[in-house]
Amino acid sequence: MSIMTTAQALLRADLHDFDGYRSARSTEALGEIWLNANESPTTAANDADDLLRRYPEPQPQALREAMAALYGVQVPQVLATRGSDEGIDLLLRAFCVPGKGAIVIAPPVFGMYAVCARLHGAHVLAVPAQDGEAGWRSDLGAMGQAALRGGARLVFVCNPGNPSGEAIPADAIERLACRLRGKALLVVDGAYAEFADSDDGMALLAGNENLVLLRTLSKAHALAGARIGCVLAAAELIDMLKRCQAPYPLAQPAVAAALAALTPQALARARNAVVQVRSERQRLLAALRQSPGVRRVYSSQGNFLLLRCDDAQVTFAALLAAGVVVRDMRATPGLEDALRISIGTVQQNERVLAVLARSRVTT
């Protein structure tokens, strides 16, 4: 008798025999004249290269191969998605029964976990991260306990954390994955992993069949406008998510942009850009800690810094008046005095510091 994997045990019962929608492009038929998808026989006026007339591949093979090479996994372990957001949504669809499922998160954290859960009718079990002298720390032990007690099928860990900048050690993630095996999937969102001191997530996939990784080309690879990301997991789990995905999730121009960004030359450029961001992050961190009106700046492993202000509204308004738009975090519980600043170029960061120096924000 075969041992059931975590994904098999957690997949919605009504989806076990669900094949999803099989589009015209999902077949492997070969031919010169394609008349199976009701496409236009002529190109659009602005489509000189004839890229847009045909429906794209549901899962472009070249893109999956490039992503597999980038992240050091096998092609069957890759599901290309519309950014990380689609991956989150697909996981909710596949593993949480509408109106009955539950997820675990550690706020303050990326809002789409809770948004997707609410739209799906799933319960959100919040285990707040703790703000201490060393910065924000997610309590993975308490998150595991909440998942087991509350019957949650998905536990979301953002690593590095957004907006906290927290980095969670690989051994802590592996302990949680082991604790949840057979009971829940551990989803580690590595949208900012390239900016961290270390990125050990991929090494954990082989020995943890209930571990799911989310990655994106939006940040380190400068493709936020293309909306290309992926889910990395056991091949069996990837096949489950495919059945829940829209027929043609990735636009052909976005796929082309992603493939161009994954060439050796482009990857070298991205690595250099990450080095510059990390350098500027440290410089800006030190300077902000000396800036008027800034009460605390948290160390970060992402491409941003979270800071608490004496008067966040005054600081926000002063930056905006100087043409600098930062993220206002004050609506987030526990961050009522906080702003988040993305790491920009040297010149952009200098403008931030100049504004703060002039504003002399005080309580």
User: What percentage of residues in the chain have a pLDDT greater than 90?
Assistant: 83
| Mean pLDDT estimate for the chain | 94
Residues 6 or more apart in contact with residue 68 via CB below 8 angstroms: 74, 75, 77, 78
Which position has the token pair 């309590």? Answer: 139
Q: What is residue 21's predicted lDDT score, i.e. its pLDDT?
A: 78
Kindly report the pTM of this predicted structure: 0.94
Mean pLDDT of 296-300: 98
Mean pLDDT of 85-96: 97
Mean pLDDT of 3-29: 83
Which three-class secondary structure state does DSSP give residue 157? strand
Q: Which of 89-93, 152-156, 244-248 has the lowest mean pLDDT?
A: 244-248
Q: Is the pLDDT of residue 90 over 60?
A: yes
| Beta pairing partners, 124 | 103
| Beta pairing partners, 214 | 189, 231
Q: What is residue 3's predicted lDDT score, i.e. its pLDDT?
A: 65
d(CA 300, CA 80): 28
Using CA atoms, how far residue 162 sits from 61, 96, 136, 225, 251, in Å, is 31, 24, 11, 20, 27
198 token code pair? 């270390």
Q: Is the pLDDT of residue 362 over 80?
A: no
Using CA atoms, how far residue 207 sits from 175, 201, 203, 210, 211, in Å, is 12, 11, 8, 9, 9
Domains along the chain with CATH numbers: 6-262 (3.40.640.10), 266-359 (3.90.1150.10)
Please, are residues 57 and 25 in contact by the beta-carbon 8 Å criterion? yes
Q: Of residues 335 and 24, which shows the higher confidence score?
A: 335
Cα dihedral sign for 262, 265, 268, 272? Answer: negative
Q: What is residue 1's predicted lDDT score, i.e. its pLDDT?
A: 35
Q: Cα-Cα-Cα-Cα dihedral of 185, 149, 164, 340, to 10°?
A: 100
Please, are residues 160 and 300 in contact by the beta-carbon 8 Å criterion? yes
CB atoms within 10 A of CB 234: 21
Amino acid in position 84: S
Mean pLDDT of 158-178: 97
Helix ranges, the chain (H): 6-10, 61-71, 83-95, 112-120, 140-150, 170-180, 201-205, 235-244, 252-261, 264-288, 312-321, 346-359
Q: What is residue 206's predicted lDDT score, i.e. its pLDDT?
A: 87
Q: Is the pLDDT of residue 19 over 90?
A: no
d(CA 77, CA 242): 11
d(CA 139, CA 123): 19
Number of H helices, E strands in the chain: 12, 13
Which position has the token pair 């990837």? Answer: 238
Q: Is the pLDDT of residue 363 over 50?
A: no
Q: What is residue 37's predicted lDDT score, i.e. its pLDDT?
A: 85
d(CA 246, CA 243): 8
Q: Is the pLDDT of residue 92 over 60?
A: yes
Cα dihedral sign for 87, 93, 96, 100? Answer: positive
Q: Which of 275, 266, 291, 264 is nearest to 349 (CA)?
A: 291
Q: Of residues 180 and 36, which shows the higher confidence score?
A: 180
pLDDT in tens, 229-284: 999 999 999 999 999 999 999 999 999 999 999 999 999 999 999 999 999 999 99
